[in-house]
Amino acid sequence: MTKAITLDSLMPYFGCIALIMAGSLFFPQILSADYLLQQLQIAAFLGLLATGATIVILLGHIDLSVPWVLTGAAIISTALVGSGDPILSAIAIPAALLFGAFIGIINGVGVAILRIPSMVWTLAVNSILLGLAVLNTGGFNPKGEASPLMVGMASGNLFSIPLGFLLWMAIAACLAFFLLRTPFGRYLRSIGYNEKATFLSGVSTPSVIFVAFAIAGMCSALGGVLLAGYANQAYQSMGDPFLLPTIAAVVVGGTSILGGRGSLFGTIGGVLFITLLTSILSVMQISDAWRNMIFGFVILAMLLFQTLRKGLHNE
């Protein structure tokens, strides 16, 4: 599918409007510009993660190493800044992005070369990163601080629009161009539909998988850098709350969990929907347990909807 805008990708935007209208009946401040701009700022963190996750899911794979790629990048960037060395501080963000790309390539090796299911391999990588972080910090919160650039990226604004949101939109636009206008995008979707047939047609499928996982790793790392800038520090397990919402945002945005079909336009809508839903549930003082259950139900509902639509289309 080469269309960026489909009914599936539009649904989360309709959902956002419904959430805002319904929420405003109980909390009128939801309609204020300050509240909505704050939601865009918060959405940027999840948006970067979901953007990378979409690339991998279009392959028909999944990346469960997101939490500790995010946390690892935050620890690396804040540690370099906290070292007090101007040179190390200057390379803090590039080092974090290289870390994300490196882990992404490791994920690609496991999936494309060793042929281990992505769910198992990336979960194992996530566990290894957790162990390495605990060994490095002794189980305590890591030392370090965010640089002014990291703080500005996460909390600054341009003409009242959060810089984090603008950065997310710029990255999403660049990746959308590659998905829609370059051979990489066609190969990515073809692998999602049928990897074996794509390989037999002459495409270097391992290379595409490497690049896709590397992009996802860099997006997760950048999300970690922004979160560290927002909190002005890194802390243990800061990425753990983001795994389920990341997958939920991609699925709600209409991307097929089986690969081959979906768009970043839909993912953006899914991120905004999940962010608004989370905010409204927080305002209503819904517990984390119920919030996770609601995310699970949302994912299941969208999967059922996609399955029914596919069945009706095939008929």
| CATH number of the CATH domain containing 23 | 1.10.3470
Q: Which candidate, 257, 245, 242, 268, places its Cα nearest to that of 172?
A: 268
- Rounded alpha-carbon distances, angstroms, from residue 8 to 19, 109, 227, 245, 277: 17, 32, 30, 18, 18
Q: Which residues constitute the domain of residue 228?
A: 7-308
Distance from chain centroid for Cα 162: 18
pLDDT band, very low/low/confident/very high, at 314 (cuts 50, 70, 90):
low
pLDDT tens digits, 200-225: 999 999 999 999 999 999 999 999 99
pLDDT at position 283 over 60: yes
pLDDT tens digits, 134-152: 888 776 778 889 999 999 9
> Residue 256 falls within a domain, yes or no?
yes
Paired with 161 in beta bridges are: 158
> Residue 313 falls within a domain, yes or no?
no
Contact 114, 187 (CB under 8 A): no
> Residue 159 falls within a domain, yes or no?
yes
Of all residues in the chain, what percent carry a pLDDT higher than 70? Answer: 96
- pTM for the complete prediction? 0.92
pLDDT at position 3 over 60: no
> Residue 1 falls within a domain, yes or no?
no
Span 153-177, average pLDDT: 94
Span 277-282, average pLDDT: 88
pLDDT at position 127 over 70: yes
pLDDT at position 188 over 70: yes
pLDDT at position 309 over 70: no
pLDDT at position 299 over 90: no
pLDDT at position 2 over 50: no
Query: What's the pLDDT at 1?
Result: 40
Instruction: Region of 84 please: left (phi>0), alpha (psi -120 to 50) or beta.
Output: left
Cβ–Cβ contacts within 10 Å for residue 193, how many? 16
Contact 17, 28 (CB under 8 A): no
- Whole-angstrom distance, CA of residue 158 vs CA of residue 315: 49
> Residue 54 falls within a domain, yes or no?
yes
> Residue 109 falls within a domain, yes or no?
yes
Q: Which DSSP string corresponds to 164-191?
A: HHHHHHHHHHHHHHHHHHSHHHHHHHHH
Please tell me the total count of domains within the chain: 1
> Residue 258 falls within a domain, yes or no?
yes
Query: What's the pLDDT at 66?
Result: 96
